[in-house]
Structure 1
Amino acid sequence: MAQIQLLIADDQVVTRSGLMAMTREAPGLDVVAVAHDEAGVLTAVDRADPDVVLLNLRTLTAERFRHLVRLVGAHTSIIVLWCHDSLVTIQDALRAKVAGFMDLEILQEDFASVISLVNRGCAVYLLPHERLSDISTEYPVSSDPVAISSLTSRENDVLLLLADGMTNKQIGSTLHIAENTVKKHVHRAMIKLSASNRVEAALLVSQLGPKR
């Protein structure tokens, strides 16, 4: 199986080292370049042609972020890594339509699987509950209430846990079902809700869905 070629773009040495360590422990991943600023990202994408960029440049403004995505997004998939001092927000990532967005604190558990999903063309947004709460009023979504009512009880359960920021693995453990079953429930629910990604589905159920 061909390895996924990664570019790690982080402006702090400690985090770069941590990401590289996680990569060494994950099968199927290969770091082909490392960058610490925008210029380095552009050069690395041009020279190394990575499949996926892990992007965590904390001082990027929304405007500079959009510009960088326009320059490299057509050539590679971008996963934005968020931490407490990042200027790029979930709203910026959604509007730029990058392939992924996730909190650094919860990345390690799903590191390889998230990168693999993104490399296959999926959009993956993983956030803890408090971040979902933050964006629920700033990134408005709408859905037909009839669509909400069409969800099965199990789909409701899965989406409520998804709105709490749980990963598929955590949801499966909580509901005592297989992780693949969770994925099927999420996929079917997203179709019913006309949601384009997990974050949108989570926002829909948190704003319009049934209460616990």
Structure 2
Amino acid sequence: MIRVLVADDQPLARAGIASLISAETDLEVVGAAADGDEALRLALELRPDVACLDVRMPGRTGIDVTRALSSAERIDKIPVLILTTFDIDDYVFGALEAGAAGFLLKDAEPDEIVRAVRQVAAGNGTLDLAVTRKVLHEFARRRSLQAVASPDGVDLLTPRELDILRLLAQGMSNEQIATTLTVEVTTVKSHLVRILPKLGVQSRLQAVVWAYQSGAVSPTD
């Protein structure tokens, strides 16, 4: 059972997301918070498998909570899925910088939100496919963020691993990457398992951010 914390300052949105998640047999909502301070308290108390956070909340923002739960210093990180109404927004960039495992627009299809929760819980991370390239290209263009890893990591990647990283940066799923490269999905997963430690990152999302920061992928790719 995947245990989920939901935090949103809008009662209807909070109830809707919680209801959507609770309807799945393998997902359980263990807590709901109306602001960032409550979200952080409940996350540390309940230790959910995934924290679904709104970006704009009273008190601590979703980014503040993400930073607290995903800090590099924490050994017991809690994966965060950011849900936002904004596709290009400083809050989204801040969420990436803070270490969010994924982000999704609130108007995404219900099954997409459920799938994202499962992906983040599994350690795969997720990006809203409708805005992935737009967000990350803008992210790469207008932000010079603290690097998530040394750019030298690109020299450690094999040509096939670099191909997979570039397709990942386009927002492709494992299945789509496998189809594009004409390989098995298990092969893609095996490559990703090797890619992340080579880059010094912990999630697919961080790998994509790293790809843009290091120049391995450019906004024109």
Could you state the TM-score of these two structures normalised by the residue count of structure 2?
A: 0.67
Deviates more, 1:40-49 or 1:185-194: 40-49
Contact 1:9-1:55 within 8 A present in 2 as well: yes
C-alpha spacing 1:38/1:45, structure 2 compared with 1 (3 Å): same
Of 154, 160, 163, 2:160 maps to: 154
Is 2:82 the counterpart of 1:81? Answer: yes
Amino acid at match of 2:102: F
CA distance in 2, matches of 1:72, 1:209: 28
Task: Describe how 1:152-191 pairs up with structure 2 within 5 A.
Answer: 152-191=158-197
The 8 Å contact of residues 8 and 34 in structure 2, kept in 1 or not, is answered as yes
> How big is the shift at 1:91?
3.2
- Unpaired runs of 5+ in structure 2? none
Distance 2:40 2:196 in 1: 35
Q: What are the residue-to-residue correspondences of 1:68-147 with 2, within 5 Å?
A: 68-69=65-66, 77-85=78-86, 88-95=91-98, 97-98=99-100, 100-104=101-105, 105=108, 107-108=112-113, 110-117=115-122, 122=123, 124=125, 126-127=127-128, 128-137=132-141, 138=143, 139=145, 141=147, 142-144=150-152, 147=153
For the residue of structure 1 that corresponds to 2:151, the secondary structure is coil
Shift of 1:81: 1.4
Cα distance in 2 for partners of 1:157, 1:7 equals: 35
User: Does the 8 Å CA contact 1:6/1:31 hold for their aligned counterparts?
Assistant: yes
Residue 216 of structure 2 corresponds to 208
1:50–1:108 Cα change, 3 Å:
closer
Structure 1 residues 185 and 93, CA, compared in 2 at 3 Å: closer, same or farther? same
Q: Percent identity?
A: 25
User: Bigger CA drift: 197-206 or 66-75?
Assistant: 66-75
Stretches (4+) displaced over 6 A: 70-76
What is the root-mean-square deviation in Å for CA atoms of aligned residues?
A: 3.7
- Deviation string 1:30-69 (CA, Å, 9 cap, x unpaired) is 11222222354356447755443211142468x7456545
| Aligned-partner Cα distance in 2 for 1:202–1:64 | 24
Equivalenced residue count is 201
